C-alpha cells in the first residue's frame, strides 16, 4: 500500500530539530525566555492573589512585598516575550539562509536530469515560500513545545503539594489539550496543509509561465483563456485555504472549550474545598489563580498546532527535493583527461527517465583534433541529446562515452564542463552587468581578459554604445538586445573560457542570414583550433564542417555531401 505521506510527523520533527542544531544556543535562550515569561504569568496571578489576601488580613506578610513581586512578575513577562521573539527570529533567519544555500546546492546537483518533470514555478515556491514557512517551526514552535510540558508539570506539582484534588481535575485537561488534541489535529490536518502548499506552487508556476510567455499570449489572443485558468487556480487555492481555515478554527476552538471547562472545574473544586472547611484556604485560593494562569501556555499551543500544518507540508516538499538522489554524481576515483583531443561515442544507447521511447541506439561517433562536425536529423530525433550526454547532463544507458580514451564517468564534472563550452540558440542573460555576464564561466577573470573576449566575439563596438559600457546592467537592457547581440555575448563567454571543445545547439536559429554569416565568420576566425560539434537544421550553418553526421533511428550515418572543407 502506497504511503500517503513521505515522512512521519516524528521523523520531520527530528529532522527539523537537527537542522536547528547550529543555533541551539540561540534557541535555548529563546526557550528559556518563553518558560520564564509563562512562569512569570503564573507568578503574576499567584502573587496577585497573595496581595489581595494580605490586604484582607487573611495572610501574613507585607502587601508591599506581594505587590513588588507582582510587578516584578509583570516585568519578567514583558522581558521574556520580547527576548523570545527577538532571539528566536534571529536564530530562525540564520537557519533559513543556510537552508536556501543547501537547497540551491541540491538543485544544482539534480539539474537537469532529475528536475525535467518539475515546474520551475513550483521549485521557486519551495525555494522561497516553503522555506519561509518552515521559519515558523524554529521561531514559534520549539519554545512552546518545551513550555507546554514544563508548566503543567509545575502546576501539577504545586497541586499535589497543596491539594491533590486540583491535580485530579487538571491532569485530564492537560493531557487532552497539550498531548492528545495537538497530535490528532496535526495528523488529521496534514492533507489540508499539503493541498494548500501544492496549489500555491501550481499558481506560482502558472504566473511565472504567463509572465515569460506574455508576448505570445498577446499575439495569439490567448489572454481570456489564460485569465480563466488563473481564476480556476485561484478557486482551487481558495477551496484549499477554506479547508485550512476550518481546520484552524476547529483546532483553536475545541481546546478553548476544555480550557474554560478546566477553569470552571478549578473554581468548583476550590468552592467545594472552601465549603468543606479546608485547613488551607489561602493555598486553595492561590492555587486556583495559578492553575487558571497555567492554561495560557496550553492555549497558545493550539495556535502553534494550526500553523504547523503548513509548516510540515512545506517541510515535506522541501525534504522530497533534498532527498532525491542525483542521477549524475562525481566519480569516486576521478581521473583528469587533460586537453581533449579525442571524443568517442561507443555504441551508446539512451532514453529519458522511464520512457520506453529509445532516443539513441547503438550510436557511434569519433571526433578528433580540431574537427568541425555537423549533426543533422529530424526534430526530436536526438541531436541535442548527443550534446547533453557529452556534457554529462545525463548518463548513457548503455555503451560508453570517452574523452582521450577515458570513460566520461571517471572525469570530474568541473573539469569536464571547463573543457567543453556550450553555445545554444538563446543565450540567457543574468541580472548583472554585461561584464559579469561575459565572465559567467570565469567570474575571477580580469577586466582586460573580459574586454579581449568581447573583442574576439565582435561585441566591443556594441558595448561602447551602451549607457555604462561594460557596467551596463542587463536586468532591463537584456530584453532590448537583438538575437545576434545575445549570441555574441554567448560567444564572448566561450572565448573567455578558452575550452577544448565547443558544442553548439541551433546557434543561428533566431538569426537572419546576415547575422548568421557574421556569427559564422567570427567562429571561423576565432575557433579554428577548437573541436566543434554543431547541431542545426540550417545547411548554411554547417557550411565548412569537415563532416556532417545524419541521425536516423538513434544511429549515426555519414551524410552524403559533407563539405570536407574547413570552418
Element containing residue 95 per DSSP (H, E): helix 63-110
**Residue 24 in contact with residue 17, Cβ under 8 Å?**
no
The pLDDT tens digits of the residues spanning 101-152 come to 999 999 888 888 777 777 777 788 888 888 988 988 998 888 877 777 788 8
Residue 348 has a pLDDT of: 95
Residue 323 has a pLDDT of: 92
- Give dist(CA 497, CA 339) in Å, integer: 13
HSE value, Cβ hemisphere, 13 Å, CA-based, for 58 = 13
Range of lowest pLDDT (39-48, 61-70, 231-240, 270-279): 270-279
Q: How far is CA 339 from CA 192, 406, 422, 567, in A?
A: 56, 12, 17, 21
Phi, psi of 340 (to 5 degrees): -80, 115
Give the angle 260-164-69 at the CA atoms, nearest 5°: 70
Whether the bond into 112 is cis, omega within 30 of 0: yes
DSSP string, 54-89: HHTTSS-S-HHHHHHHHHHHHHHHHHHHHHHHHHHH
Cell digits of residue 136 = 515558523
Name the pTM for this structure: 0.78
Region 446-453: mean pLDDT is 93
Region 473-478: mean pLDDT is 70
Q: Is the pLDDT of residue 461 over 60?
A: yes
What integer best gives the mean pLDDT of the chain? 85
Range of lowest pLDDT (88-97, 207-216, 222-231, 279-288): 279-288
Candidate ranges 44-58, 146-160, 459-473, 502-516; pick with highest mean pLDDT: 459-473
DSSP string, 200-264: HHHHHHHHHHHHHTHHHHHHTT-HHHHHHHHHHHHHHHHHHHHHHHHHHHHHHHHHHHHHHHHHH
DSSP string, 279-331: S-HHHHHHHHHHHHHHHHHHHHHHHHHHHHHHHHHHHHHHHHHHTSPPSS---
Neighbours of 198 (CB within 10 A): 17
Q: Is the pLDDT of residue 567 over 70?
A: no
Cell digits of residue 103 = 537547497
Range of lowest pLDDT (339-343, 366-370, 378-382): 378-382
Give the pLDDT band (50/70/90) at residue 95.
very high
**Residue 395 in contact with residue 349, Cβ under 8 Å?**
no
Give the pLDDT band (50/70/90) at residue 299.
low
Region 325-344: mean pLDDT is 93
Cell digits of residue 416 = 569536464
Q: Single out the residue of 289, 270, 268, 264 nearest to residue 51, CA to CA.
A: 289
Phi, psi of 108 (to 5 degrees): -60, -40
- Give dist(CA 320, CA 396) in Å, integer: 25
Residue 438 has a pLDDT of: 93
Cell digits of residue 381 = 530525433
% pLDDT > 90, the chain: 30
Residue 564 has a pLDDT of: 46
Amino acid at each position: 500500500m502506497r504511503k500517503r505521506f513521505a515522512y512521519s510527523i516524528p521523523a520531520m520533527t527530528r529532522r527539523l530539530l537537527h537542522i536547528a542544531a547550529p543555533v541551539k544556543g540561540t534557541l535555548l535562550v529563546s526557550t528559556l525566555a518563553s518558560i520564564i515569561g509563562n512562569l512569570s504569568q503564573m507568578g503574576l496571578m499567584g502573587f496577585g492573589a497573595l496581595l489581595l489576601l494580605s490586604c484582607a488580613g487573611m495572610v501574613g506578610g507585607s502587601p508591599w512585598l506581594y505587590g513588588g513581586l507582582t510587578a516584578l512578575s509583570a516585568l519578567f513577562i514583558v522581558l521574556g516575550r520580547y527576548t523570545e521573539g527577538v532571539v528566536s527570529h534571529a536564530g530562525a533567519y540564520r537557519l533559513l539562509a543556510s537552508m536556501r544555500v543547501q537547497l540551491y546546492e541540491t538543485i544544482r546537483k539534480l539539474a537537469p536530469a532529475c528536475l525535467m518533470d518539475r515546474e520551475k514555478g513550483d521549485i521557486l515556491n519551495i525555494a522561497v515560500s516553503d522555506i519561509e514557512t518552515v521559519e515558523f517551526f524554529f521561531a514559534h514552535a520549539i519554545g512552546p513545545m518545551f513550555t507546554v510540558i514544563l508548566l503543567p508539570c509545575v502546576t501539577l506539582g504545586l497541586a499535589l503539594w497543596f491539594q491533590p484534588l486540583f491535580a485530579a481535575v487538571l491532569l485530564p485537561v492537560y493531557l487532552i489539550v497539550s498531548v492528545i488534541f495537538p497530535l490528532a489535529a496535526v495528523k488529521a490536518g496534514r492533507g489540508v496543509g499539503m493541498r494548500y502548499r501544492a496549489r500555491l506552487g501550481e499558481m506560482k508556476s502558472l504566473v511565472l509561465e504567463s509572465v515569460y510567455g506574455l508576448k505570445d499570449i498577446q499575439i495569439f489572443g490567448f489572454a481570456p483563456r489564460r485569465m480563466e485558468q488563473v481564476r480556476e487556480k485561484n478557486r482551487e487555492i481558495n477551496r484549499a485555504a477554506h479547508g485550512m481555515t476550518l481546520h484552524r478554527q476547529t483546532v483553536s476552538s475545541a481546546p478553548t472549550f476544555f480550557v474554560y471547562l478546566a477553569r470552571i472545574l478549578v473554581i468548583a473544586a476550590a468552592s467545594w474545598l472552601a465549603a468543606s472547611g479546608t485547613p488551607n484556604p489561602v493555598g486553595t485560593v492561590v492555587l486556583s489563580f495559578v492553575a487558571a494562569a497555567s492554561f495560557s501556555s496550553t492555549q497558545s499551543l493550539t495556535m502553534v498546532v494550526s500553523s504547523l500544518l503548513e509548516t510540515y507540508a512545506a517541510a515535506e516538499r522541501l525534504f522530497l527535493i533534498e532527498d532525491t538522489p542525483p542521477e549524475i554524481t562525481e566519480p569516486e576515483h576521478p581521473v583528469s583527461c587533460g586537453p581533449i583531443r579525442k571524443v568517442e561515442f561507443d555504441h551508446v544507447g539512451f532514453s529519458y527517465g522511464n520512457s520506453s521511447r529509445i532516443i539513441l541506439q547503438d550510436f557511434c561517433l569519433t571526433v578528433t583534433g580540431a574537427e568541425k562536425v555537423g549533426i543533422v536529423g529530424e526534430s526530436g530525433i536526438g541531436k541535442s541529446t548527443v550534446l547533453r550526454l557529452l556534457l554529462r547532463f545525463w548518463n548513457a544507458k548503455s555503451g560508453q562515452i570517452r574523452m582521450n580514451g577515458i570513460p566520461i564517468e571517471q572525469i570530474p564534472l568541473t573539469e569536464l564542463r571547463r573543457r567543453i563550452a556550450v553555445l545554444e540558440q538563446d543565450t540567457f542573460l543574468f541580472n548583472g552587468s554585461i561584464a559579469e555576464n561575459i565572465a559567467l564561466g570565469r567570474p575571477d577573470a580580469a577586466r582586460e581578459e573580459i574586454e579581449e573576449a568581447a573583442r574576439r566575439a565582435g561585441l566591443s563596438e556594441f558595448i561602447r554604445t551602451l549607457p555604462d559600457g561594460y557596467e551596463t546592467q542587463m536586468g532591463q537592457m537584456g530584453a532590448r538586445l537583438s538575437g545576434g547581440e545575445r549570441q555574441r555575448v554567448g560567444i564572448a563567454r566561450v572565448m573567455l573560457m578558452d575550452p577544448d571543445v565547443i558544442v553548439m545547439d541551433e546557434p543561428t536559429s533566431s538569426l537572419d542570414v546576415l547575422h548568421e554569416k557574421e556569427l559564422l565568420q567570427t567562429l571561423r576566425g576565432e575557433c579554428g583550433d577548437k573541436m566543434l560539434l554543431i547541431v542545426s537544421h540550417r545547411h548554411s550553418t554547417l557550411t565548412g564542417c569537415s563532416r556532417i553526421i545524419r541521425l536516423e533511428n538513434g544511429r549515426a550515418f555519414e551524410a552524403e555531401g559533407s563539405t570536407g572543407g574547413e570552418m
